[in-house]
Amino acid sequence: MHTGRIDPATIPGGIDLGLTLESGQSYLWTRADGDGYAGDPDGSQWYTTVEWRGGDPRVLRVRERPAGGLDWRANAPAADIVRERLRLDDDLDAIAERAPDESVIAAAFDAHRGLRLIDDPAYPTLIAFICSTQMRVSRIHGMVTRLRREIGDPVVFDGDTFHAFPTPETLAAAGEDRLRDLGLGYRAPYVVDTARMIADGAAHPRTAAGMAYEDAREWLTRFVGVGEKVADCVCLFALGFDESVPLDTWIQTAIAERFPDCDRDSYAATSRALRERLGPDAGYVQTYLFYHLRTAEAAAAD
């Protein structure tokens, strides 16, 4: 067993763990102490599984300390993994300072202190966002959690049984009917076909990490069920393209109502215009905007 504590002084701008893990970027973490997804985060801890040197997956739990900072616990030395996946080196105050001087953007940063971008692994992120189309955040998390629990390999940790994200081979072998039974709907054949591409070695999403941003987004659309928007989510949340600005329904509405000058005749052109408008941390700004606009309180207060 490995444990560690991360001092708040080493997390510039701090972290709100519940906000970061339940804001709709990541679907690979689960609250360990309850069935609810968006419940009371006080004292909560989250777990995920991580690949470990080609062997069995390992389990990682992270908890936010009341005094700030994080505690983690894992069956692998995970200090670097925690820092990288939660992007603890990002300076949130500097990012907020560099953001455009727009009231809605300032309000978003001010209202959601400690919200960080995450850096998840490419393959599970790809599958999760194939599942995300025409779905609410809480239901996407439910679908991904169900995939893990029903067909993911069990991993015993600290006396409890967890489940790793199912491998490409397992998802491909599960078949369309099984995935429909698990609630994926019309996305089931997309997931099967994409998983098969990866299992067969035809392509792997992490290959896109070495490309120029717009080339990476285009390349990712070769996977079944992946259009430009889903590809952008993989770019932003798993491949380190901080300039990516996924144009979902909420951001499209924001463009129409607040940034009409960024509206173009194609996804690529609109994305490019909004990216330039949102500045060097466009992806971070987008993540704050998305969460801010999506919350009912924001809609009522604005």
Partner DNA sequence: TTCCAGGAAATGG
Partner DNA sequence: CCATTTCATGGA
**Options 76-84, 157-165, 178-186, 197-205: segment touching DNA (CB under 7 A):** 178-186
| In the complex, least distance from residue 26 CB atom to DNA, rounded to whole angstroms | 9
Whether residue 51 contacts residue 3, with contact meaning beta carbons closer than 8 Å, is answered with no
Question: Binding pattern to DNA, positions 205-234, x when CB under 7 A?
Answer: ----------------x--xxxxxxxx-x-
Pairing of strands 154-157, 160-163: antiparallel
What are the phi and psi torsion angles at 27 (to 5°)? Answer: -120, 20
Cβ distance to DNA smaller for residue 139 or 277: 139
Count of beta carbons in the 10 Å neighbourhood of residue 250: 17
Burial class (CB in 10 A: 0-12, 13-18, 19+), 8: middle
CB of 170 to DNA, least distance (A): 20
What is the residue whose two structure tokens read 């690529």? Answer: 268
Q: Is 126 in the site for DNA (CB under 7 A)?
A: no
Q: Is 103 in the site for DNA (CB under 7 A)?
A: no
Question: How many angstroms separate the CA atoms of 239 and 220, rounded?
Answer: 11
Check binding of 271 to DNA (CB under 7 A): no
Q: Is 229 a catalytic residue?
A: yes
Q: What is the DSSP string of 198-266?
A: HHTTS--GGGGGGS-HHHHHHHHTTSTT--HHHHHHHHHHHS--TT-----HHHHHHHHHH-GGG--SS
Give me the least distance between CB of 267 and DNA, in Å please: 8
Size of the site for DNA (CB under 7 A): 38
Asked if residue 165 binds DNA (CB under 7 A), the reply is: no
Catalytic residue among 112, 229, 275, 292: 229
Binding mask 229-268 for DNA (x = CB under 7 A): xxx-x------------x-xxxx-------------xx--
In angstroms, give the least distance from the CB of 106 to DNA. Answer: 19
Of 23 and 49, the one with the shorter C-beta distance to DNA is 23
List of residues 6+ apart from 219 with CB closer than 8 A: 207, 208, 211
What is the Cα–Cα distance from 302 to 295, expressed in whole angstroms?
11
Residues 35-74 that bind DNA (CB under 7 A): none
Verify binding: residue 298, DNA, rule CB under 7 A.
no
Which residue, among 11, 27, 82, 51, has the nearest Cα to 204 in the 3D structure? 51
Q: Candidates 38-46, 71-79, 136-144, 256-264 — which segment interacts with DNA by CB under 7 A?
A: 136-144
Q: Using alpha carbons, list the distances in angstroms from residue 71 to 14, 35, 77, 120.
A: 14, 22, 13, 19
Give residues in contact with DNA (CB under 7 A): 23-25, 132-140, 180, 183, 185-186, 190, 221, 224-231, 233, 246, 248-251, 265-266, 286-287, 290, 294
* Residue positions annotated with a catalytic role: 229
